[in-house]
């Protein structure tokens, strides 16, 4: 991978942490003229000290406003050539951070928001978030006789952001580094609000071996659970990875303890939803989404 | 030399932002602050103020975005009232960036003013300056940036003005010339401001002069020390303002008609204005009671009150607030400041004007007369609602 290695070794994140892999890839692509910002979460606690760039943090709910203030403050000083990066978890993006995200997106602020999505509040011990998928076990959505893990689907975050008509929206996976880095390199040159939703497998929270992080990430992409696409010019939708045939979801789910309780019926439900969604994505591939 | 204009308090706030050459502003509308946001938007739209206006979706974002702008090296301003201020509480807490915020007081139990909104931010680590009239609002806006950005301080300032009574009431205000303001208030140099040509090491060295120690008790000690250092700075800035512009406000507090007084009443904000003529009348009647207008609530002038305690035998503290379950916030602080002075004066408490209820000269007279009585002998009750 080209680009200067910015993230230093020796972070306190767990072995096999998806966030750590993402940070290495992402900041190679951003380079040194970058300010990154933090809100509470695993990135701040375990990784931020290993990213020697200009940085600051704020309250959990304040991520969108912080980057908005910074980019405007820089612009007021005549500085337009620095990347202002929000590097937040799914909680800081999709839940408590959603209002500020929406505000910043609607104003089309000149910032780059990376959501490192490990699908739960990992830093507080793995509670459910709005990004936790249906049936996944978390510490607040246990699976037992009556409850079967999380009861509802996860929020469709990239489409929520895309509905704001912003400069760039994309999804990415750490198992497809050139796709990920390519998206950052392309989008960082655009003026306006850029959003990249990156799946960040968490061995501790999802219950898989730390050596399987990339494998889990790859299987979720190959099975259509985590489709890779981008939306440019506000509504131009394009899949960036199109396997001829999807792998069954069971392979990816089977590696993760959070799905161990699934019945055949529940697995089947996930499979048919993924199939249905993939069909829809193929239909809109290369097309303009309605505003 | 400046010129005079008739304007409401909210416009004086906006003028203050213009004269201070604010670079980034961000605010969310709420009665009675709303017109500040509108004036600023107008000033920016017409080119009178060269600033970025972040049209945020909430007060929480207003607060965090001005912090972001200030961190990035821009002079930043916001304004809010009551509920909006309470919504900002979390990001305000512990903030150590030199932003200025106007708080147009609004009660939580009415839309009218009392000081419960800003008093609820007592422990956030902000400097709190209360204003009495529209001229003071404009002047305090300019002084606030000088205080906030001072290297010994480097802390945010909240300046309070009573909703409606000041925000929507027009008074003649002298607007100083921009040149003069520019000479008084140099451009902002942010400690944490990044620059593309700066190395991380240079940037860190710059910052290390400021907020550090996260995760340790030292972070609190430093913040408190900078706050206490602000006492001196506030007085210096006020004196210099007086020299340059011909108006000053005593810095931390002002003693009005206190010469030879036996007792003083202590008032904040517009109640001080109501009190002035009443005190004049009482003095003419030969009653030796004066007025202490408390302008700076944080840092609290403990030592200064202890000095005053040598001169006055009674203090009648007017609280346009209540800490429910305890009492008047200023009353409690003042009494505790005087705990270990010799020949302790009496300290009486008066709650009045909450939810914007009118505070009349008659009420002030009653407060002053009771305080004077306490200077001569015990009175009951110690605390009352007027
Ligand atoms: C206002 C507020 N509420 C709750 C918390 C506690 N908290 C800290 S991190 C966190 C979860 C972070 O989740 P996410 O954003 O998904 O990041 P992750 O740790 O999973 O990477 C929570 C709930 C907080 N710091 N502030
Ligand atoms: S809990 Fe998960 S996200 Fe947090 S450091 Fe560990 S592996 Fe990374
Ligand atoms: Mg998370």
**What is the spatial order of strands in the sheet that B24-26 belongs to?**
B52-54, B24-26, B76-80, B100-105, B157-162, B127-130, B296-298
A50 in any annotated domain: yes
A289 in any annotated domain: no
Is-contact B322 B353, C-beta < 8 A? no
* Residue with CA at minimum distance from ligand 2 atom 3: A202
Tell whether A12 is within 8 A of chain B (Cβ): no
Is-contact A173 A165, C-beta < 8 A? no
Nearest-angstrom CA–CA distance, B337 and B335: 5
Nearest-angstrom CA–CA distance, B22 and B79: 13
A4 in any annotated domain: no
For residue A91, the 8-state DSSP code is: I
Q: Is the CB of A149 under 6 A from ligand 1?
A: no
B27 contacts on A by Cβ (under 8 Å): none
Q: In residues, how long is chain A?
A: 291
Tell whether A56 is within 8 A of chain B (Cβ): yes
Integer-rounded Cα Rg, in Å, for chain A is: 18
Residue for token pair 């680009």: A3
Residue B29 CB neighbour total at 10 angstroms: 15
Is the preceding omega at residue B381 within 30 degrees of 0, hence cis?
A: yes
Q: Which residues pair with A35 in a beta bridge?
A: A54, A84
Q: What number of C-beta contacts closer than 8 Å exist between A and B?
A: 124
Interface test with A, best of B67, B194, B202, B203 (most A CBs within 10 A): B194
Q: What is the position in ligand 1's atom list of the atom closest to the CA of A61?
A: 1
Strands B296-298 and B127-130: antiparallel
pLDDT of A149-207, one tens digit each? 999 999 999 999 999 999 999 999 999 999 999 999 999 999 999 999 999 999 999 99
Residue A1 has pLDDT above 80, yes or no: no
The residue among A124, A122, A121, A119 whose CA lies nearest residue A136 is A119
Nearest-angstrom CA–CA distance, B277 and B279: 5
Q: Which two tokens stand for residue A164?
A: 């704001």
Tell whether B101 is within 8 A of chain A (Cβ): no
A99 in any annotated domain: yes
Task: Give the rounded percent of residues in chain A with a pLDDT score beyond 90.
Answer: 98
Nearest-angstrom CA–CA distance, B263 and B379: 14
Query: Which run of H or of E encompasses B140?
Result: helix B134-149
Yes or no, beta carbons of A68 and B58 under 8 Å apart: no
Q: DSSP strand E in chain A: where? A: 34-38, 54-57, 83-89, 112-117, 168-173, 194-199, 229-232, 236-239
pLDDT at B294: 98
Q: What tens-digit pLDDT sequence spans chain B (386 residues)?
A: 689 999 999 999 999 999 999 999 999 999 999 999 999 999 999 999 999 999 999 999 999 999 999 999 999 999 999 999 999 999 999 999 999 999 999 999 999 999 999 999 999 999 999 999 999 999 999 999 999 999 999 999 999 999 999 999 999 999 999 999 999 999 999 999 999 999 999 999 888 766 667 789 999 999 999 999 999 999 999 999 999 999 999 999 999 999 999 999 999 999 999 999 999 999 999 999 999 999 999 999 999 999 999 999 999 999 999 999 999 999 999 999 999 999 999 999 999 999 999 999 999 999 999 999 999 999 999 999 99
The ligand that comes nearest to the alpha carbon of residue A124 is 1
Q: Which two tokens stand for residue A203?
A: 């061995």
B63 contacts on A by Cβ (under 8 Å): 62, 65
A123 in any annotated domain: yes
- Write the DSSP string, A204-239: HHHT--GGGHHHHHHHHHHTTSS--EEEETTTEEEE
Tell whether A4 is within 8 A of chain B (Cβ): no
Tell whether B69 is within 8 A of chain A (Cβ): yes
Yes or no, beta carbons of B194 and A107 under 8 Å apart: no
pLDDT at B259: 96
CATH of the domain at A209: 3.40.50.970
The residue among B122, B130, B155, B372 whose CA lies nearest residue B263 is B372
Q: Which CATH architecture fits B254-385?
A: 3-Layer(aba) Sandwich (3.40)
The residue among A183, A195, A175, A197 whose CA lies nearest residue A247 is A175
Residue A155 CB neighbour total at 10 angstroms: 17
The ligand that comes nearest to the alpha carbon of residue A16 is 2
Exposure b/e, A10-23, CB count within 10 A at least 16 = b: ebebbebbbbbbbb
Max distance between CA atoms of chain A, in angstroms, equals: 60
pLDDT of A138-151, one tens digit each? 999 999 989 999 99
Q: What is the position in ligand 1's atom list of the atom closest to the CA of A45?
A: 19
Considering CB atoms only, which of A52, A62, A69 is closest to B72?
A69
pLDDT at B207: 81
pLDDT of B157-205, one tens digit each? 999 999 999 999 999 999 999 999 999 999 999 999 999 999 999 999 8
Integer-rounded Cα Rg, in Å, for chain B is: 21
Yes or no, beta carbons of A99 and B61 under 8 Å apart: yes
Determine the structural domain holding residue A64 and report its residue range: 18-284
For ligand 2, residues with CB inside 6 Å are A 13-14, 17, 19, 42, 46, 118, 122-123, 202-205
A29 backbone dihedrals φ, ψ, rounded to 5°: -75, -35
Residue B263 CB neighbour total at 10 angstroms: 26
Instruction: Tell me the shortest Cα–Cα distance from B252 to chain A, in angstroms.
Output: 31
- Write the DSSP string, A41-86: SHIIIIIGGG--SEEEE--GGGHHHHHHHHHHHHHHTT--SSEEEE
Superfamily grouping for domain B3-245: Thiamin diphosphate (ThDP)-binding fold, Pyr/PP domains (3.40.50.970)
B3-245 against B254-385: fold identical:
yes
Predicted complex ipTM exceeds 0.95: yes
Question: Which residue of chain B comes nearest to A32, CA vs CA?
Answer: B196
pLDDT at A161: 98
3-state DSSP call for residue B214? coil
A53 contacts on B by Cβ (under 8 Å): 200
Exposure b/e, A208-235, CB count within 10 A at least 16 = b: beeebbbbbbbbbbbbbbbbbbbbeebb
Query: Which run of H or of E encompasses B36?
Result: helix B34-45
Nearest-angstrom CA–CA distance, B31 and B150: 32
Yes or no, beta carbons of A72 and B60 under 8 Å apart: no
Exposure b/e, B236-252, CB count within 10 A at least 16 = b: ebbeebeeebeebbbbb
Question: How much is the mean pLDDT over chain A?
Answer: 97
Tell whether A82 is within 8 A of chain B (Cβ): yes
What number of H helices and E strands is found in chain A?
11, 8
Instruction: Tell me the shortest Cα–Cα distance from B382 to chain A, in angstroms.
Output: 42
Residue A220 has pLDDT above 90, yes or no: yes
Is-contact A193 A234, C-beta < 8 A? no
Q: Is the CB of A199 under 6 A from ligand 1?
A: no
Please state the domain extents for chain B: 3-245, 254-385
Q: Which two tokens stand for residue A78?
A: 């005549």
Nearest-angstrom CA–CA distance, B60 and B82: 13
Query: pTM above 0.90?
Result: yes
Tell whether B280 is within 8 A of chain A (Cβ): no
Instruction: Tell me the shortest Cα–Cα distance from B126 to chain A, in angstroms.
Output: 17
Domain total of chain A: 1
Q: Is the CB of A129 under 6 A from ligand 1?
A: yes
B193 contacts on A by Cβ (under 8 Å): 77
A61 in any annotated domain: yes
Is the preceding omega at residue B32 within 30 degrees of 0, hence cis?
A: yes
Residue for token pair 């090296």: B73
Nearest-angstrom CA–CA distance, A173 and A158: 14
């Amino acid at each position: 991978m080209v680009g200067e290695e910015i993230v230093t070794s020796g972070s306190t994140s767990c072995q096999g942490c998806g966030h750590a892999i993402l940070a290495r890839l992402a900041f190679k692509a951003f380079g040194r003229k970058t300010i990154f910002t933090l809100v509470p979460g695993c990135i701040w606690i375990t990784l931020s000290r290993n990213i020697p760039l200009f940085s600051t943090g704020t309250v959990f709910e304040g991520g969108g406003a912080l980057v908005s203030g910074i980019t405007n403050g820089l612009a007021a000083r005549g500085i337009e050539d620095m990347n202002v990066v929000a590097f937040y978890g799914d909680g800081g993006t999709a839940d408590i951070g959603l209002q500020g995200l929406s505000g910043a997106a609607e104003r089309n602020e000149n910032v780059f928001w990376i959501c490192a999505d490990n699908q739960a509040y990992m830093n507080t011990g793995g509670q459910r978030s709005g990004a936790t998928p249906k049936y996944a076990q978390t510490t607040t959505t246990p699976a037992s006789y009556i409850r079967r893990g999380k009861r509802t689907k996860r929020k469709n975050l990239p489409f929520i952001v895309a509905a704001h008509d912003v400069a760039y929206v994309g999804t990415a996976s750490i198992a497809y580094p050139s796709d990920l880095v390519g998206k950052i390199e392309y989008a960082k040159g655009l003026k306006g609000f850029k959003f990249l939703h990156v799946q960040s497998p968490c061995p501790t929270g999802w219950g898989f071996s730390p050596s399987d992080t990339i494998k889990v990430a790859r299987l979720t992409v190959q099975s259509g659970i985590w489709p890779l696409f981008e939306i440019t010019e506000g509504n131009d939708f394009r899949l960036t990875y199109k396997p001829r045939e999807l792998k069954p979801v069971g392979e990816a789910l089977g590696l993760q303890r959070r799905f161990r309780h699934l019945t055949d019926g529940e697995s089947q439900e996930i499979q048919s939803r993924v199939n249905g969604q993939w069909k829809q994505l193929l239909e809109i591939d290369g097309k303009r989404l309605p505003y | 030399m400046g010129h005079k204009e008739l304007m409401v308090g909210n416009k004086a706030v906006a003028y203050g932002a213009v004269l201070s050459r604010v670079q980034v502003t961000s605010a969310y509308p709420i009665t009675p602050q709303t017109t500040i946001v509108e004036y600023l938007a107008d000033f920016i739209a017409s080119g009178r103020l060269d600033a970025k206006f972040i049209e945020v979706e909430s007060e929480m974002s207003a607060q965090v975005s001005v912090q972001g702008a200030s961190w990035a090296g821009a002079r930043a301003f916001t304004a809010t009232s009551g509920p909006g201020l309470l919504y900002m509480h979390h990001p305000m807490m512990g903030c150590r960036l030199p932003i200025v915020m106007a708080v147009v007081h609004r009660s939580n139990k009415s839309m009218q003013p009392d000081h419960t909104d800003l008093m609820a931010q007592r422990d956030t680590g902000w400097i709190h300056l209360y204003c009495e009239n529209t001229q003071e609002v404009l002047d305090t806006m300019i002084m606030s940036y000088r205080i906030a950005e001072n290297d010994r301080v480097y802390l945010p300032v909240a300046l309070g003005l009573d909703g409606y009574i000041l925000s929507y009431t027009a008074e003649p205000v002298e607007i100083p010339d921009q040149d003069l303001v520019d000479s008084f208030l140099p451009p902002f140099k942010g400690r944490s401001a990044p620059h593309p040509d700066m190395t991380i090491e240079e940037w860190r060295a710059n910052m290390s002069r400021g907020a550090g120690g996260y995760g340790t008790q030292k972070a609190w000690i430093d913040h408190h020390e900078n706050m206490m250092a602000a006492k001196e700075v506030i007085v210096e800035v006020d004196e210099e303002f007086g020299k340059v512009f011909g108006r000053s406000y005593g810095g931390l507090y002002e003693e009005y008609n206190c010469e030879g007084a036996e007792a003083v009443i202590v008032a904040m904000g517009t109640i001080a204005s109501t009190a002035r003529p009443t005190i004049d009348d009482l003095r003419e009647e030969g009653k030796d009671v004066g007025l202490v207008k408390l302008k700076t609530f944080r840092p609290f002038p403990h030592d200064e009150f202890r000095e005053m305690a040598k001169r006055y035998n009674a203090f009648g503290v007017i609280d346009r607030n209540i800490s429910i379950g305890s009492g008047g916030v200023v009353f409690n602080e003042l009494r505790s400041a005087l705990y270990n002075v010799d020949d302790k004066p009496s300290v009486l408490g008066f709650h009045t004007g909450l939810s914007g209820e009118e505070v009349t000269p008659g009420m002030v007279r009653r407060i002053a007369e009771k305080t004077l009585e306490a200077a001569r002998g015990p009175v009951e009750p110690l605390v009352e609602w007027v």
